[in-house]
Structure 1
Amino acid sequence: MIENGAVFPLFYLPPVDYFTKLNAFKPHIVLEVEEHFPKQTYRNRTNIYSPDGPLSLTVPVSKGSKNHTKTKDVKISYDFKWQRLHWLSLSACYRSSAFFEYYEDDFAPFYEKNFTYLVDYNREQLELLLRLLKIKIPLQFTETYEAAYPNLTDLRSTMSPKIEPDVEQKAYFQVFEERQGFLKNLSIVDLLFNQGPQALNYL
């Protein structure tokens, strides 16, 4: 196991703060996949900027995926067409941003192809995001669940939709900021679609 790094949860289109921390701890990162799946977290939800303010998008998980299911075993539910809803929402919110069309073809497959496990979906998206942001991190995953990591900074429960991020975020241009002002710590795609290749400099 690596030392002097950090253990991260695996999120769906993670918030900006997540990548700020990834960039700070790289390359000594390990991703948690053995924990019991906690509900109502960024593991299966993300926040984007809509004309009406923050919009939460949630990836539904199968009904057996309760608190005693390991994260790596949580299955995505396709009982309703959530992929279509998410893609329509992303398109509607960011079509007029400077870089949505530049990245559109990279993200579209995630809303067309079915993934069985949430962890695979999130991992492949994270790999794409790191590539687009030009952040080089070898992805390592937990092999057993550990309640504590003496040699690692434990970030598994520090980033939550219910907790204000502990970092200051400088404002960058957002499509609907004239309506609601600058909204901080939205999904990384908000930064990417608005700032494009400058996103890494921002982080």
Structure 2
Amino acid sequence: MNQIAVDLHFLPSLEFFAAIADAEEILIFPKDQYPRQSYFNRTRIRLSNKVETLSIPIQGRRPRLPLNQIKIDHTQNWKSIHLRGIQSGYGKAPFFEFYFPYFREIYESEEEYLWRFNLNLLTMCLKLLRWNARLSVYQGDGYAMDFKDIRGQIVPGRPFSDRMHYEPVSYTQLFGLDFEPNLGILDLLFCAGPEADRILRDSKKRLNNR
């Protein structure tokens, strides 16, 4: 079985999905420690004049806790900001009306923990892509197990071209003439719909592309 261990990201990037495109089982680890710089609480969308980062506020400052103990700071107005930004950026996208209600429903939940919120979003993304990979949660660290482990690889501050997961395949985006690669999965789903599966599989970097 093709198993791959990943970090649990918030609405992951196209690089993330290209990396797991061939996986039969996706392994995630709630006991891994919260990293200071990661995509655990941030994703990128495209607006009319810029690429915007959407961030989820968390309780406490740089907490030294397992990922599944990180709580969302619901005292901040982040949900409305995110939903307005998504609607502003993609309201006219071809598949927005079809996909957006699924994400809005998860956003409108009162999930306390960021881990569970991200897990719900990832589960929905896999369903919309019609990927049959099993999503498995492991309570240990998994380092003694035999699988491909890319945890800690897909991080902010390093270009995706430095890694061996993603080779951009362009698709029609809403704004501008220049294609913006490696945005969050929302961009691809809203703009390409059912073609998202093919685009992600074609975007998987092969060894002969090095």
Offset of residue 110 of structure 1: 2.3
SS in 2 for 1:193: helix
The change in CA–CA distance for 1:150 and 1:69 in structure 2 (over 3 A counts) is same
Q: How does 1:139-158 map onto structure 2 within 5 Å?
A: 139-146=135-142, 148-149=143-144, 151-158=146-153
Offset of residue 104 of structure 1: 1.7
Residue 48 of structure 2 aligns with which residue? 51
* Alignment partner of 1:188 out of 162, 185, 194: 185
The separation in 2 between residues aligned to 1:32 and 1:55, in whole angstroms, is 28
Deviation per CA, 1:128-185, whole angstroms, max 9, x where unpaired? 1100000012211121125x4562222111111212123211111111133xx11111
**Which runs of 5 or more residues in structure 1 are unaligned?**
none
1:27 aligns with 2:24: yes
- Total equivalences in the alignment: 196
Q: Which amino acid aligns with 2:16?
A: Y
Contact 1:86 1:111 in 2 (8 A): no
The change in CA–CA distance for 1:151 and 1:43 in structure 2 (over 3 A counts) is same
Contact 1:37 1:70 in 2 (8 A): yes
The separation in 2 between residues aligned to 1:6 and 1:118, in whole angstroms, is 22
Q: How does 1:30-41 map onto structure 2 within 5 Å?
A: 30-41=27-38
Q: Bigger shift: 183-192 or 111-120?
A: 111-120
**Which runs of 5 or more residues in structure 2 are unaligned?**
201-210
Q: How does 1:55-66 map onto structure 2 within 5 Å?
A: 55-63=52-60, 66=63
The separation in 1 between residues aligned to 2:154 and 2:62, in whole angstroms, is 21
Contact 1:61 1:75 in 2 (8 A): yes
The change in CA–CA distance for 1:149 and 1:9 in structure 2 (over 3 A counts) is farther
Offset of residue 65 of structure 1: 5.6
Q: Bigger shift: 117-126 or 164-173?
A: 164-173
Residue 108 of structure 1 aligns with which residue? 104
SS in 2 for 1:6: strand
Q: Bigger shift: 151-160 or 13-22?
A: 151-160
1:122 aligns with 2:118: yes
Normalising by structure 2, what TM-score?
Answer: 0.88
SS in 2 for 1:177: coil
SS in 1 for 2:137: coil
RMSD between aligned residues? 1.6
